[in-house]
Amino acid sequence: MRVEYINPFVAATFEILKTVANVTPKKGKVILKNEPVPSYGVSVLVGVVGEVKGQIAYSLSEEAAMKIASAMMMGMPVEEFDEMAKSAISELANMITGNASTQISAQGLVVDISPPTLVTGSNVHISTGNMQTIVIPVETELGIFEINIALE
């Protein structure tokens, strides 16, 4: 996996989280995985197609998802992870992936993204087939927001 594919997702995550959730993101220790990646309760999957192919999965706890959704909705209290909160987190993933895809397109590559798919539950593992996954934890005041990148 090329760094030219990874950096746009990190940059987009930092930029979008700062803008919509008013947090200060910090990158944690990057890990390379060859097996399915565990979800932390809430995961949003976005497919990438074109000259760069694969999947991006954003994973966070339900508590962090509710806090981020609340921040995105101008502080409106989010007491449960309902449809409005799910929509906000799905849109967050869509904005990040769209921003990163635009950065990759600026490198002269044709890419497109699928609509986000939100998955919730404990004991969920995200498989990327035989592709390696770069796991990048992003620490914020509202919780950890993990980026799982599997692209080729």
31 C-beta neighbours (distance < 10 Å), count: 13
How is 94-143 classified by DSSP, letter by letter? HHHHHHHHHHHHTTT--EEEPPPEEEE-TT-EE--TTS-EEEEEEEETTE
What does the pLDDT average to over 134-143?
Answer: 97
| pLDDT tens-digit map of 82-100 | 999 999 999 999 999 999 9
Instruction: Residue 26: count other Cβ atoms within 10 Å of its Cβ.
Output: 11
Q: Considering only CA atoms, which of 35, 38, 58, 25 is closest in space to residue 149? A: 58
Section 121-134 average pLDDT: 89
Enumerate residues 6+ apart whose C-beta is below 8 A from 112: 48, 49, 50, 101
Query: What is the percentage of the chain residues whose pLDDT exceeds 90?
Result: 87
Q: What's the whole-model pTM score?
A: 0.95
Band (129; pLDDT cuts 50, 70, 90): confident
Write the pLDDT tens digit of every residue in 51-90. Answer: 999 999 999 999 999 999 999 999 999 999 999 999 999 9
Percent of the chain with pLDDT over 70: 99
CATH architecture of 3-151: 3-Layer(aba) Sandwich (3.40)
Q: Is the dihedral of CA 65, 68, 72, 76 positive or negative?
A: positive
Q: Which two tokens stand for residue 129?
A: 């087939």
Domain regions of the chain by residue span: 3-151
Q: What is the pLDDT of residue 70?
A: 98
pLDDT category at 2 given cuts 50, 70, 90 is confident
Q: Are strands 125-126 and 26-27 parallel, antiparallel or unpaired?
A: unpaired
Exposure string over 7-18, b if 16+ CB within 10 A, otherwise e: ebbbebbbebbe
**Cα–Cα distance measured from residue 25 to residue 126, given in angstroms and rounded to the nearest whole number:** 24
- Per residue in 6-53, pLDDT tens? 999 999 999 999 999 999 999 999 999 998 988 999 999 999 999 999
